[in-house]
Amino acid sequence: MPGATIVHAAAFAVGALVGGGVVSAVSARRQRHQIPVASVPATAPIISPPVVDVTPGGVTQISPQAATPVSVLKYGNPGPISDQLVRIAYAAGYDRRLRHPAWAAEHLTLASLGKSALASASSDEKGDRQNSHFTEDQSIPAMFRAKLQDYFRSGYDRGHMVPAADCKLSQAAMNETFLLTNIAPQVGVGFNRHYWAYVEDWCRRLTSTFADVYVFTIPLYLPKLDSDGKWRITHEVIGSPPNVSVPTHFAKVVLTAKPSSPSTPDVPEISTGAFVLPNAVIPDEAKLESFVVPIEAVEKAAGLTLFSDAIKKNSKHICKTTKCEVTVRKFDDAQKNAQRKAITGPR
Protein backbone atom coordinates (compact mmCIF):
# COMPACT_ATOMS: atom_id res chain seq x y z
CA MET A 1 0.00 0.00 0.00
CA PRO A 2 1.43 3.47 -0.88
CA GLY A 3 2.83 5.46 2.02
CA ALA A 4 0.35 8.32 1.63
CA THR A 5 -2.56 5.89 1.73
CA ILE A 6 -1.28 4.43 5.00
CA VAL A 7 -1.04 7.87 6.59
CA HIS A 8 -4.57 8.76 5.48
CA ALA A 9 -5.83 5.40 6.74
CA ALA A 10 -4.10 6.00 10.06
CA ALA A 11 -5.65 9.45 10.36
CA PHE A 12 -9.07 8.00 9.56
CA ALA A 13 -8.68 5.28 12.19
CA VAL A 14 -7.58 7.81 14.78
CA GLY A 15 -10.52 10.00 13.83
CA ALA A 16 -12.79 7.05 14.50
CA LEU A 17 -11.09 6.55 17.84
CA VAL A 18 -11.65 10.16 18.87
CA GLY A 19 -15.01 10.68 17.24
CA GLY A 20 -16.90 7.67 18.49
CA GLY A 21 -15.66 4.63 16.60
CA VAL A 22 -14.96 2.87 19.86
CA VAL A 23 -18.46 3.60 21.05
CA SER A 24 -19.86 2.22 17.82
CA ALA A 25 -17.99 -1.01 18.39
CA VAL A 26 -19.97 -1.50 21.59
CA SER A 27 -23.41 -0.94 20.19
CA ALA A 28 -26.82 -0.89 21.81
CA ARG A 29 -27.54 -4.29 20.29
CA ARG A 30 -24.70 -5.82 22.27
CA GLN A 31 -25.97 -4.20 25.43
CA ARG A 32 -29.21 -6.16 25.10
CA HIS A 33 -27.21 -9.38 25.33
CA GLN A 34 -25.11 -8.46 28.35
CA ILE A 35 -25.27 -10.87 31.29
CA PRO A 36 -26.80 -9.19 34.38
CA VAL A 37 -24.35 -8.76 37.24
CA ALA A 38 -24.87 -7.97 40.88
CA SER A 39 -24.97 -4.23 41.51
CA VAL A 40 -22.36 -2.56 43.65
CA PRO A 41 -23.77 -0.49 46.57
CA ALA A 42 -23.73 3.19 45.74
CA THR A 43 -22.11 3.91 49.08
CA ALA A 44 -18.99 1.93 48.23
CA PRO A 45 -17.86 2.73 44.69
CA ILE A 46 -14.71 1.00 43.49
CA ILE A 47 -12.49 3.55 41.81
CA SER A 48 -9.26 2.47 40.11
CA PRO A 49 -6.38 4.83 40.85
CA PRO A 50 -4.56 6.37 37.91
CA VAL A 51 -1.44 4.55 36.76
CA VAL A 52 0.58 7.74 37.20
CA ASP A 53 -0.16 10.71 39.42
CA VAL A 54 1.67 13.59 41.03
CA THR A 55 1.77 13.73 44.82
CA PRO A 56 1.20 17.01 46.70
CA GLY A 57 4.99 17.30 46.98
CA GLY A 58 5.31 17.29 43.21
CA VAL A 59 6.66 13.75 42.88
CA THR A 60 5.37 11.67 39.96
CA GLN A 61 4.79 8.03 40.79
CA ILE A 62 3.17 4.82 39.57
CA SER A 63 0.18 3.94 41.72
CA PRO A 64 -0.39 0.34 42.88
CA GLN A 65 -3.54 -1.41 41.70
CA ALA A 66 -5.60 -2.99 44.48
CA ALA A 67 -8.09 -5.86 44.22
CA THR A 68 -11.22 -6.03 46.37
CA PRO A 69 -12.32 -9.60 47.23
CA VAL A 70 -16.04 -10.41 47.36
CA SER A 71 -17.75 -13.41 48.96
CA VAL A 72 -19.16 -14.76 45.68
CA LEU A 73 -15.57 -15.49 44.62
CA LYS A 74 -14.85 -17.60 47.68
CA TYR A 75 -13.57 -20.51 45.59
CA GLY A 76 -11.64 -18.53 43.01
CA ASN A 77 -11.61 -15.40 40.87
CA PRO A 78 -11.76 -16.24 37.14
CA GLY A 79 -10.24 -12.91 36.15
CA PRO A 80 -9.48 -11.34 33.78
CA ILE A 81 -6.00 -11.06 35.24
CA SER A 82 -3.49 -8.46 34.12
CA ASP A 83 -0.19 -9.74 35.45
CA GLN A 84 1.62 -6.81 37.07
CA LEU A 85 5.27 -7.09 36.09
CA VAL A 86 7.84 -4.98 37.93
CA ARG A 87 11.26 -5.02 36.30
CA ILE A 88 14.53 -3.21 36.94
CA ALA A 89 13.85 -0.48 34.39
CA TYR A 90 10.11 -0.70 33.70
CA ALA A 91 6.71 -1.90 34.82
CA ALA A 92 4.05 -3.56 32.67
CA GLY A 93 0.69 -5.26 32.67
CA TYR A 94 0.50 -8.49 30.67
CA ASP A 95 -2.70 -9.45 28.84
CA ARG A 96 -3.17 -13.21 29.14
CA ARG A 97 -5.83 -13.29 26.43
CA LEU A 98 -3.89 -11.41 23.76
CA ARG A 99 -0.46 -12.79 24.87
CA HIS A 100 1.29 -9.43 24.83
CA PRO A 101 1.56 -6.43 27.18
CA ALA A 102 -1.60 -4.48 27.89
CA TRP A 103 0.69 -1.56 28.70
CA ALA A 104 4.31 -0.88 29.57
CA ALA A 105 5.63 2.09 31.55
CA GLU A 106 9.12 3.48 31.99
CA HIS A 107 10.75 6.46 33.70
CA LEU A 108 13.53 7.98 31.63
CA THR A 109 16.18 10.37 32.92
CA LEU A 110 19.67 11.24 31.77
CA ALA A 111 20.95 9.00 34.56
CA SER A 112 18.77 6.02 33.59
CA LEU A 113 20.03 6.32 30.01
CA GLY A 114 23.64 6.45 31.20
CA LYS A 115 24.07 10.02 29.94
CA SER A 116 24.51 11.77 33.27
CA ALA A 117 28.02 12.76 34.30
CA LEU A 118 26.92 12.56 37.93
CA ALA A 119 25.58 9.00 37.76
CA SER A 120 27.00 7.00 34.89
CA ALA A 121 27.67 3.29 34.75
CA SER A 122 31.06 1.88 33.88
CA SER A 123 31.50 0.24 30.49
CA ASP A 124 31.60 -3.14 32.24
CA GLU A 125 28.14 -2.59 33.74
CA LYS A 126 26.34 -1.34 30.66
CA GLY A 127 23.99 -3.62 28.78
CA ASP A 128 24.83 -4.92 25.32
CA ARG A 129 21.94 -6.24 23.22
CA GLN A 130 24.34 -8.68 21.56
CA ASN A 131 24.36 -10.51 24.90
CA SER A 132 20.55 -10.57 25.22
CA HIS A 133 18.21 -13.19 23.79
CA PHE A 134 14.44 -13.33 23.39
CA THR A 135 13.06 -15.51 26.17
CA GLU A 136 9.67 -16.88 27.15
CA ASP A 137 8.53 -15.52 30.51
CA GLN A 138 8.30 -18.46 32.88
CA SER A 139 6.37 -16.37 35.43
CA ILE A 140 3.29 -16.58 33.18
CA PRO A 141 1.26 -19.83 33.25
CA ALA A 142 2.14 -21.95 30.20
CA MET A 143 -1.37 -21.83 28.70
CA PHE A 144 -1.30 -18.01 28.65
CA ARG A 145 2.32 -17.60 27.62
CA ALA A 146 3.64 -16.17 24.34
CA LYS A 147 6.05 -18.67 22.78
CA LEU A 148 9.18 -18.17 20.70
CA GLN A 149 7.68 -20.49 18.12
CA ASP A 150 4.71 -18.13 17.68
CA TYR A 151 6.94 -15.51 16.04
CA PHE A 152 8.97 -17.94 13.91
CA ARG A 153 8.27 -17.15 10.23
CA SER A 154 5.23 -15.11 11.25
CA GLY A 155 6.16 -12.15 9.05
CA TYR A 156 6.28 -9.86 12.11
CA ASP A 157 9.11 -8.50 14.21
CA ARG A 158 9.26 -9.16 17.92
CA GLY A 159 8.60 -5.53 18.82
CA HIS A 160 9.83 -4.23 22.17
CA MET A 161 7.26 -2.21 24.10
CA VAL A 162 10.06 -0.92 26.34
CA PRO A 163 13.04 -0.51 23.98
CA ALA A 164 16.29 -2.28 24.75
CA ALA A 165 18.05 1.04 24.05
CA ASP A 166 16.28 2.54 27.09
CA CYS A 167 17.81 -0.05 29.41
CA LYS A 168 21.54 0.04 28.76
CA LEU A 169 22.42 0.82 32.37
CA SER A 170 22.96 -2.88 33.13
CA GLN A 171 22.88 -6.19 31.31
CA ALA A 172 20.20 -7.50 33.66
CA ALA A 173 17.94 -4.53 32.88
CA MET A 174 18.43 -5.00 29.15
CA ASN A 175 17.80 -8.75 29.35
CA GLU A 176 14.38 -8.09 30.88
CA THR A 177 13.33 -6.15 27.78
CA PHE A 178 13.78 -9.37 25.76
CA LEU A 179 11.20 -11.30 27.78
CA LEU A 180 8.20 -12.03 25.54
CA THR A 181 5.98 -10.31 28.11
CA ASN A 182 7.55 -7.07 26.79
CA ILE A 183 6.99 -8.00 23.15
CA ALA A 184 4.16 -7.57 20.63
CA PRO A 185 4.05 -8.41 16.90
CA GLN A 186 5.01 -5.40 14.80
CA VAL A 187 5.45 -4.81 11.09
CA GLY A 188 9.23 -4.80 10.57
CA VAL A 189 10.44 -2.73 7.61
CA GLY A 190 8.81 0.69 7.65
CA PHE A 191 7.60 0.48 11.23
CA ASN A 192 9.46 -1.35 14.00
CA ARG A 193 12.85 -0.88 12.32
CA HIS A 194 12.09 2.63 11.09
CA TYR A 195 9.33 5.06 12.10
CA TRP A 196 8.53 3.39 15.44
CA ALA A 197 12.25 3.43 16.24
CA TYR A 198 12.33 7.16 15.43
CA VAL A 199 9.53 7.74 17.95
CA GLU A 200 11.39 5.74 20.61
CA ASP A 201 14.48 7.86 19.93
CA TRP A 202 12.40 11.04 20.27
CA CYS A 203 11.21 9.87 23.69
CA ARG A 204 14.82 9.38 24.81
CA ARG A 205 15.82 12.81 23.50
CA LEU A 206 13.15 14.41 25.69
CA THR A 207 15.49 13.83 28.65
CA SER A 208 17.72 16.62 27.34
CA THR A 209 14.89 19.10 28.00
CA PHE A 210 12.97 17.55 30.89
CA ALA A 211 14.24 16.20 34.22
CA ASP A 212 11.75 13.32 34.20
CA VAL A 213 10.14 11.58 31.24
CA TYR A 214 7.45 8.93 31.74
CA VAL A 215 6.64 6.87 28.67
CA PHE A 216 3.69 4.52 28.25
CA THR A 217 3.47 2.11 25.32
CA ILE A 218 0.05 0.60 24.70
CA PRO A 219 -1.03 -1.90 22.01
CA LEU A 220 -4.46 -1.04 20.64
CA TYR A 221 -7.23 -2.68 18.63
CA LEU A 222 -9.19 0.01 16.80
CA PRO A 223 -12.34 -0.34 14.71
CA LYS A 224 -12.38 0.18 10.96
CA LEU A 225 -15.37 1.21 8.88
CA ASP A 226 -16.18 -1.54 6.39
CA SER A 227 -17.82 -1.13 2.99
CA ASP A 228 -21.21 -2.12 4.44
CA GLY A 229 -21.14 0.88 6.76
CA LYS A 230 -20.46 -1.13 9.90
CA TRP A 231 -17.50 -0.77 12.24
CA ARG A 232 -15.42 -3.87 12.95
CA ILE A 233 -12.18 -4.74 14.70
CA THR A 234 -10.24 -7.37 12.78
CA HIS A 235 -6.71 -8.50 13.48
CA GLU A 236 -4.32 -11.34 12.78
CA VAL A 237 -3.28 -13.99 15.28
CA ILE A 238 0.15 -15.58 14.85
CA GLY A 239 1.43 -18.96 15.96
CA SER A 240 0.52 -22.56 15.19
CA PRO A 241 -1.93 -23.06 16.74
CA PRO A 242 -2.87 -19.35 16.72
CA ASN A 243 -1.70 -17.82 19.99
CA VAL A 244 -0.48 -14.18 19.89
CA SER A 245 -2.73 -11.36 18.68
CA VAL A 246 -1.39 -8.68 16.35
CA PRO A 247 -2.41 -5.13 17.43
CA THR A 248 -3.83 -2.83 14.78
CA HIS A 249 -2.18 0.22 16.37
CA PHE A 250 0.29 1.26 19.05
CA ALA A 251 0.13 4.29 21.32
CA LYS A 252 2.98 6.26 22.87
CA VAL A 253 1.85 8.46 25.73
CA VAL A 254 4.36 10.72 27.45
CA LEU A 255 4.38 12.78 30.63
CA THR A 256 7.32 15.07 31.26
CA ALA A 257 8.27 17.14 34.28
CA LYS A 258 10.78 19.90 34.95
CA PRO A 259 11.04 22.67 37.55
CA SER A 260 8.53 25.40 36.72
CA SER A 261 11.12 28.08 37.52
CA PRO A 262 14.50 28.47 39.27
CA SER A 263 12.74 30.02 42.25
CA THR A 264 10.27 27.09 42.58
CA PRO A 265 12.34 23.96 41.84
CA ASP A 266 9.91 21.79 43.83
CA VAL A 267 6.92 22.79 41.71
CA PRO A 268 6.96 20.75 38.49
CA GLU A 269 5.78 21.95 35.12
CA ILE A 270 3.95 18.99 33.60
CA SER A 271 3.56 18.33 29.89
CA THR A 272 1.65 15.43 28.34
CA GLY A 273 0.89 14.05 24.92
CA ALA A 274 -0.45 10.97 23.16
CA PHE A 275 0.33 9.55 19.73
CA VAL A 276 -1.41 6.63 17.99
CA LEU A 277 0.38 4.96 15.07
CA PRO A 278 -0.92 2.18 12.81
CA ASN A 279 0.93 -1.14 12.88
CA ALA A 280 1.88 -0.66 9.25
CA VAL A 281 4.52 0.88 7.01
CA ILE A 282 4.82 4.62 7.74
CA PRO A 283 6.87 6.81 5.39
CA ASP A 284 9.87 8.56 6.92
CA GLU A 285 8.50 11.97 5.94
CA ALA A 286 5.30 11.54 8.01
CA LYS A 287 4.93 14.25 10.65
CA LEU A 288 4.81 13.03 14.25
CA GLU A 289 2.14 15.62 15.07
CA SER A 290 -0.16 13.96 12.51
CA PHE A 291 -0.53 11.08 14.98
CA VAL A 292 -1.52 13.24 17.98
CA VAL A 293 -4.75 12.22 19.73
CA PRO A 294 -6.31 13.19 23.08
CA ILE A 295 -5.03 11.14 26.01
CA GLU A 296 -8.65 10.32 26.87
CA ALA A 297 -9.04 8.63 23.48
CA VAL A 298 -6.18 6.24 24.25
CA GLU A 299 -7.52 5.59 27.76
CA LYS A 300 -10.98 4.83 26.39
CA ALA A 301 -9.73 2.50 23.67
CA ALA A 302 -7.37 0.64 26.01
CA GLY A 303 -9.63 0.60 29.08
CA LEU A 304 -6.93 2.32 31.16
CA THR A 305 -6.68 5.39 33.36
CA LEU A 306 -3.20 6.73 32.74
CA PHE A 307 -3.35 10.13 34.43
CA SER A 308 -5.63 11.86 36.89
CA ASP A 309 -8.14 14.39 35.61
CA ALA A 310 -6.19 17.12 37.36
CA ILE A 311 -3.02 16.31 35.42
CA LYS A 312 -4.83 16.14 32.10
CA LYS A 313 -6.55 19.45 32.79
CA ASN A 314 -3.54 21.39 34.08
CA SER A 315 -0.69 20.02 31.98
CA LYS A 316 0.63 21.62 28.82
CA HIS A 317 0.68 19.70 25.56
CA ILE A 318 4.10 18.25 24.87
CA CYS A 319 4.16 19.72 21.36
CA LYS A 320 3.78 23.19 22.89
CA THR A 321 6.79 22.79 25.19
CA THR A 322 9.16 21.01 22.81
CA LYS A 323 9.40 20.07 19.14
CA CYS A 324 7.40 16.99 18.19
CA GLU A 325 9.72 15.97 15.39
CA VAL A 326 11.39 12.64 14.78
CA THR A 327 14.94 12.30 13.55
CA VAL A 328 15.19 9.88 10.66
CA ARG A 329 17.98 7.47 11.45
CA LYS A 330 18.58 4.07 9.93
CA PHE A 331 18.57 2.12 13.17
CA ASP A 332 18.69 -1.14 11.24
CA ASP A 333 21.85 -0.29 9.26
CA ALA A 334 23.74 -2.80 11.35
CA GLN A 335 21.09 -5.41 10.58
CA LYS A 336 21.00 -5.25 6.79
CA ASN A 337 22.15 -8.79 6.24
CA ALA A 338 19.35 -11.28 5.97
CA GLN A 339 20.62 -13.36 8.87
CA ARG A 340 20.11 -10.48 11.32
CA LYS A 341 16.78 -9.41 9.87
CA ALA A 342 15.22 -12.84 9.87
CA ILE A 343 13.68 -14.23 13.02
CA THR A 344 15.55 -17.35 13.91
CA GLY A 345 13.88 -20.47 15.21
CA PRO A 346 13.34 -21.05 18.93
CA ARG A 347 16.43 -21.89 20.92
Contact status, residue 314 vs residue 225, Cβ threshold 8 Å: no
Rg (CA), the chain: 21
Q: Which amino acids are annotated catalytic?
A: 160
Q: How far apart are CA 121 and CA 116, in angstroms?
A: 9
- What is the residue type of 209? T
Q: Residue-wise over 298-334: b if at least 16 C-beta within 10 A, else e?
A: bbebbebbbbbeebbeebeebeebbebebeeeebeee
Residue 291 φ/ψ, nearest 5 degrees: -105, 10
The DSSP line for 6-40 is HHHHHHHHHHHHHHTHHHHHS-HHHHTTPPP-PPP
Rounded alpha-carbon distances, angstroms, from residue 189 to 47, 195, 288: 42, 9, 18
- What is the residue type of 104? A
- What is the bridge-based pairing of β-strands 264-278 and 316-317? parallel
- What is the residue type of 237? V
248 secondary structure, DSSP code: S
Q: Which residues touch 83 (CB under 8 Å, ≥6 apart)?
A: 93, 94, 96, 139, 140, 181
